[in-house]
Structure 1
Amino acid sequence: MEETVAAKFRTWVMTQYWLGLIPGLLILIYRDFIPKYLANDATRLVSLRLFYDPSFISHDWLLLAHYDEDRLTILFRAIFAPLWFLTKDGIVIALIARACVWIFLLYVIVRLAKALQLPLFALAIGFFYWVDQGQSLGAGEWIFGDAEGKCLAYGCLFLAIEMLLRNRPRWAAVLCGLAFWFHVPVALWTVLAFYAALLIAERKNFLKGFVIPALITVAVCLPMALIALRYMEVSAPAPAGISIDWLIVMFRNPHHMDPHHFHGWRELVELVVCATLATLSFCVSLGDKKRTFLSLFLFMLLGEFACGVLAREANFLGLLKTYPFRAADVLVFFFACLTLPSLIANLISRVSKPRFAQLQPHGARVTAGAVACALLILPTISIGLMKSDKFFVHQFVTSWVAFANHQQTSYSEMTEWIRLNTPKDTVIIAPPWLNDFTLESERATVVNFGRDPHNGLIVEWYQRYCAMNGGPYHTFGTDTETEVQRHYDFLDAAQVQDIHKRYGGQFYFTKIPRSEPNLQLVHANANYYLYAIKD
């Protein structure tokens, strides 16, 4: 009886795919599920609030220029903007949105793993390794992090692949079109690879297998595609010797768009290895057509990445600003991680040595799991597994303790004072690296690094950003944040006055006490000072 119960329990466990996500989910939770704004949380939440409250920061320069930074993620905004009716606490909204997005993605990955016929141990090992290694290889893309439209776009793509594997191509087509409403750049490159692979895989069933699904996708995404085209039309005269595309690609986003920055040729080789391993790992029971589609899909993504690398060599920056690297960077690595453990299991089960040949199938899988763990994880996880600086355990605990105790920092005290004591149409000269300043103070700023336009308005953004540095930058991308941190607090009185006249900044927020006659102190605390700028 005990053996029967044990066997039933083992069978039950092996069918509960969600259990395989727990190891990786634990890493995600203590890394990223903290009561703080993550990379793009604050800028996304500003957009969500504007969706229901157009009067919010009405004097912001981007709004006055009729720019909407999240116009290309309309459906994401429609889903999560109502959270502002529930609470005005941005941190709480960020956590709720993060949890909802993660739950959806975990659900989708479970469905995809079942459709791929992955063993539970392969899902557990592969997902854990993929999360631990940062979810991508070099271009800085991710799927699990803060709540963004691109996360749901990737979720739609996973569902589309799952539907196709279950012989429901029309539902797959609808989901491909729906992805555009969540995030146009992600949908553009993933859906392009999807249909390029489908074109070859369904060449003998061209009408029903390719044409009809493609028409369905076009019909669903067409309105969003037209909005995207109008968005890209905005232009502006650029400074001498500098192009708009250069500002977007080389100055602001080289960590995502410039393969010279993230060693694109080396990553291309790594992606070839990953795509090859994933192709070898796809379950034979899927059938030739499905395995062909999945393999072609990965190599189409690989081709997009290669086109981006070649475009950089040809200095064709217009292509690079559409993010041709992000999909391959995260998806090829994802499929390789999920499928490689099962390939190792199959290889072990075929070994003819007596000590392996005597293993039962279950024993072979357990052994394969252990070997896969060693091969995948041990060489790449750094020594000092439980160090707080490595795995953010200290940050997780302290941030939640501070949040539960409602501890107020000098920064939050200052933003609260600004919110309560300055006119709503005030424009603040604030540190451009503080992405959450606008959200916390509810006041417009002269410029912010995180709210960068991806069209012609990038020219004015660049000019404003240079003004905060006291002159042109000598670095690129996120390194400019370090550079401006060295200079912003030491802007002289003439530079602050010039920003005030050119861009309307009425207050100067700084960490350094100032004594210039044109700067009048209005509020200060232990770490920050706020000065009114006199004409």
Structure 2
Amino acid sequence: MRIRDTFNSANEPTAATSADVDDRAGAWLETTLILLLLAAYAIEPTPSVNEAHYLGKAKHYWNPSWAAGDLFLESADAHVVFYWTFGWVTRFVSLPVAAWLGRLLTWSLLAWAWQRLSRAVIPRRWWSVLTAGLFVSLLHWFDMAGEWVIGGVEAKGFAYVLVLCGLRSLVQNRWSWVWPQFGAAAAFHVLTGGWSVIAAAIAWGFQRDERPSLWRQMPWLLLGGALSLPGLVPALLLTRDLPPEIVHEANRIYVFERLSHHLAFHRLDPAHVSRFAALCIAWSACAYAVRRCDRQRRLALFVAGALLIAVCGVAIDSLTANRPDLAASLLRFYWFRLSDFAVPLGTALAAAGILASSPNPFPNPSRLTRTPTPTRTFLHRARPLAIAAAILFTLATIGSVAARHLLDPRGGADVQSMPAFRRRPEWTRMVYEDWQRTTDWISQHTPPDAVFLTPRSQQTFKWNAHRAEVVNWKDMPQDAATLVEWFERMRRVYPPTTARGEWSEMSDERLRQLGREYGADYLVLDRTRHRSRPGLKRLFPLEPIDPDEPDRKSAYEVYSLAEP
């Protein structure tokens, strides 16, 4: 009888097995809901911010004849792992299709990684969806230096997937997995993964119990370092064999001319800094409330490490105010990037941890009494309201983003750079349609190897026209030598001689000279910034662009730079 019972118990589903199946199904359902939440927040027309930048570089990497002669595309490649893992898709599909495929892949992986991290910290069903909404909302409203995680496809998105996986291992005290996962993140994006390694090292250093020894961690640290090399080596080669004055100038341009809004603390928006400081206070309170949970405490140490890195960035910015070369050489490492990500993450999980554990947010048996305390009673009564507030906060965030897209249905890259008329949204739409019409004409009527002088206020010319351009503000090269050349081109092609027009005070001969110097064959004129036309031969448009409005002029015109 016992043998039969044993046999049956070995072959029939047990309650635990059924629970495991239900748990896996629930996890995938949670992941799907998180994916829908991320998509609702980030969905927008292509290209989003950085998509034209990253996917254009990837397409040229695999097809050097595409937009050949473009300074940015032919500069050093800093994200080779991204090109090999996803960029090859651009060989087989159009750039917009590649963007949508990349978005779906990135968002799906982020949803999967977040669900696993949230469940590891708060082992209760459905709470991962709530924490995902809180994280998205806090990241949207409380960033300090402009960091974002959920958006268009680029190397950073894949890196953050691996960072979330590494954080799950960290909170579970599985340090042998932390270093390889963060190292792999650095392969995609060296700073995202690299700063995560340093913050994790700080967390490891301050962990009081169950901390594995450094000697035991050494093989996994070496493995993580080896995995990071495909991202680290190209970054190190960006300044190889260059004179110090070129490197110093490149650092100055990078930090103080182009990216000061991300890198220099004294140039950050004070309103953003204030909001972020308020979030840090909220995180501190929440982290203190859940400090007796081992996993929450490990996560809080990582967040504290990220904040310590940011404090170092503030100190460097202050102490090197009179030494610009030293400041530029140090501030270029994005000291505030990880804290922008980690503090919203830590706040979302700690706040949800308080709600999930109420009416007793302090799971210490020595604190348990039979008599309800006022704090426990308050938390018990406030819990439904707090959960409802978190849901409303998420819906309000997604709603505000959706409303912005309804008011301006252009992709993020065009919203960021192209002319906009807030009081006349129909003008914004017409200018955008003219841009699309002009770049379509260029792609169909000019040689594939043609090079263009393009308007300063745009970043999607290559995306639409599939032609090279002399320079634009968004596409900044990463290697020092080409970065200096890029800035010199910006000053020569777009001199600050007038308030609006890039070429208003340039003669026709000067425009042709720029064409000869940089190998440009054509010029695209932004008529919203130029009242007068050059004396060059106009190629487009030669007839009314809208038969229903024959008197309407195109916002963009194409001219030949060939000698008369």
Pairwise TM-score range, normalised by the shorter structure: 0.7 to 0.9
> Which position in structure 2 is the counterpart of 1:56?
66
Q: Which residue of 2 aligns with 1:405?
A: none
Residue 45 (structure 1) aligned with residue 55 (structure 2): yes
Aligned equivalent of 1:462 = 487
Q: Secondary structure in 2 aligned to 1:140?
A: coil
| 2:260 equivalent to 1:247 | no
Alignment of 1:221-240 (within 5 A): 221-233=228-240, 235=242
Q: Which residue of 2 aligns with 1:414?
A: 438
Q: Aligned-pair distance for 1:444?
A: 0.8
Identity %: 21
CA contact (8 A) 2:436 2:464 kept: yes
Equivalent residues in 2 for 1:360-509, closer than 5 Å: 364=380, 368-374=383-389, 390-393=403-406, 409-454=433-478, 455-471=480-496, 486-488=500-502, 490-494=504-508, 495-509=510-524
Please tell me whether the aligned partners of residues 190 and 228 of structure 2 are also in contact (alpha carbons under 8 angstroms).
Answer: no
Bigger radius of gyration among the two: 2
Counterparts of 1:265 and 1:397, CA distance in 2: 29
Which of 44, 57, 65 lines up with 1:34 in the alignment?
A: 44
TM-score normalised over the length of structure 1: 0.80
Amino acid at match of 1:352: P
CA contact (8 A) 2:61 2:83 kept: yes
- Report Cα offsets for 1:94-140 as digits up to 9, x if no partner: 11111101101110001111111254464333322332344452211
The alpha-carbon deviation at position 329 of structure 1 amounts to 1.0
Give, in angstroms, the shift of residue 237 of structure 1.
Answer: 8.4
Does 1:338 find its partner at 2:342?
no
- Structure 1 match to 2:558: 530
Does the CA contact (< 8 Å) of 1:278 and 1:336 recur in 2?
yes
Q: 2:537 aligns with which of 508, 520, 524?
A: 520
Match of 2:114 among 106, 109, 114: 109
Distance 1:397 1:413, change over 3 A: closer
Measured at CA, do residues 27 and 367 of structure 1 come closer, stay the same or move farther in structure 2, by a change above 3 Å? same
Q: Distance in 2 between matches of 1:472 and 1:329?
A: 37
- The Cα shift of 1:424 comes to 2.3
Pair 118,427 (structure 1): closer, same or farther in 2 beyond 3 Å: same
Distance 1:438 1:281, change over 3 A: farther
Which has the higher mean CA deviation after the structures are superposed, 432-441 or 276-285? 276-285
| 1:13–1:173 CA distance, 2 compared to 1 (3 A) | closer
User: 2-side partners of 1:179 and 1:63: how far apart?
Assistant: 24
Deviation (angstroms), 1:327: 0.8
Q: Distance in 2 between matches of 1:504 and 1:438?
A: 16
1:430–1:355 distance in 2 versus 1, CA, 3 Å: closer
Instruction: Write the deviation string for residues 307-359 of structure 1: whole angstroms up to 9, x where unpaired.
Output: 111111123221211111111111221121122132145454479379975x9
Give the Cα separation in 2 of the matches to 1:353 and 1:169. Answer: 38
* Of 32-41 and 126-135, the range deviating more from structure 2: 126-135
Q: Answer yes or no: is 1:149 the counterpart of 2:155.
A: yes
CA displacement at 1:50 relative to structure 2: 1.6
Are the counterparts in 2 of residues 72 and 184 from structure 1 also a CA contact under 8 Å? no
Contact preservation (8 Å) 1:143, 1:150:
yes
- In terms of mean alpha carbon deviation, does 521-530 or 145-154 score higher? 521-530
Tell me the number of residue pairs that the alignment of Structure 1 and Structure 2 aligns. Answer: 490
Deviation at 1:62, TM superposition (A): 3.7
- What secondary structure, in the 3-state scheme, does the structure 2 residue paired with 1:451 have? coil
Structure 2 unaligned runs (5+)? 1-17, 321-326, 362-370, 413-431, 546-553
Write the distance in 2 (CA, Å) between the matches of 1:232 and 1:511: 36
The 5 A counterparts of 1:293-304 are 293-304=298-309
| Cα 1:209/1:336, change in 2 over 3 Å | farther
The one-letter code of the counterpart of 2:334 is Y
Structure 1 residue aligned with 2:317: 312
The answer as to 2:369 corresponding to 1:352 is no
Contact 1:31 1:392 in 2 (8 A): no
User: What do you get for the CA RMSD once the two structures are aligned?
Assistant: 3.8
- SS state at 2:45 partner: coil
